[in-house]
Amino acid sequence: MKFPILIINFKSYKEAAGPRAVEIAKAAERAAKELGVNIAVAPNHFELALVAQSVEIPVYAQGVDVESAGAYTAHTALENVKEVGASGVILNHSEAPLRLNDLGRFIPKARALGLDVVTCAPDPRTSLAAAALGPSAVAVEPPELIGTGKAVSKYKPETVVETVQLVSKHFPDVAVITGAGIESGEDVEAALRLGTKGVLLASAAVKAKNHYQKIMELAKPLVR
């Protein structure tokens, strides 16, 4: 996994359903190429294979709930994320939380499959616990700020700083990124200034009238 990174989570937004998922992913790919920065997209499971086949930037699953492929009706398996061509997975998003024991099995299995693993956590101490399980990155996201337009990097900078300090002290190989309420390039810039290696965001990019323009704005602070 390369840093700094902007990860765009499509969630289950209708604005990113069906062919629109590919359009947003292609806008992200264009911005990544033009700026020379790392942008990953996380489409809904319905569009995961299609998007993975359509773009060359990293494509992540939004989550999984079982490890292995097999007789698991209506479940999403880690092995299938790899199988359909995605290169990473987000785990334990606050909208799709996992049990600790499952997280403890899924993270090493995903790493063994060669997938990037971003594990979400709501606060610094939970981020530290998540980092102990060996993901590529921890994304600290105060759930109460998600989708509000109130950026974590401005409204809860102490959460971000404490997470960076705790994780880098104990698990220096695990990157810290952040998300929740990130709306503008300025918010991304602030997140990087607080010591993170990127951001995980959704609504600002997915709901934008012009996806390419908005993603360009959000990704510009990543230019080195």
Ligand X SMILES: O=C[C@H](O)COP(=O)(O)O
| Residue positions annotated with a catalytic role | 93, 141
Whichever of 78 and 201 has its CB closer to ligand X, that residue is 201
Whichever of 118 and 174 has its CB closer to ligand X, that residue is 118
| Least Cβ distance, residue 119 to ligand X (angstroms) | 12
Q: Contacting ligand X (CB under 6 A), which of 41, 50, 128, 146?
A: 146
Q: Contacting ligand X (CB under 6 A), which of 1, 5, 6, 9?
A: 9
Q: Contacting ligand X (CB under 6 A), which of 43, 63, 135, 179?
A: 179
Question: Which long-range contacts (C-beta less than 8 Å, at least 24 apart) are formed by 162-166?
Answer: 162/124, 163/121, 163/123, 163/124, 163/127, 163/128, 163/138, 164/194, 164/195, 164/196, 165/195, 166/124, 166/125, 166/127, 166/128
Judged by CB under 6 A, does residue 98 bind ligand X? no
Q: How far apart are CA 197 and CA 191, in angstroms?
A: 8
Judged by CB under 6 A, does residue 97 bind ligand X? no
What backbone torsions phi and psi does residue 116 show, to the nearest 5 degrees?
-70, 145
Whichever of 116 and 141 has its CB closer to ligand X, that residue is 141
Number of residues in contact with ligand X, rule: CB under 6 A?
14
What residue is closest to ligand X based on CB?
203
Going from the C-alpha of 180 to that of each of 83, 93, 113, 156, 208, the distances in angstroms are 30, 11, 29, 10, 16
Judged by CB under 6 A, does residue 203 bind ligand X? yes
Residues 99-138 that bind ligand X (CB under 6 A): none
SS3 category, 139: strand
Site for ligand X, rule CB under 6 A: 9, 93, 141, 146-147, 179-182, 200-204
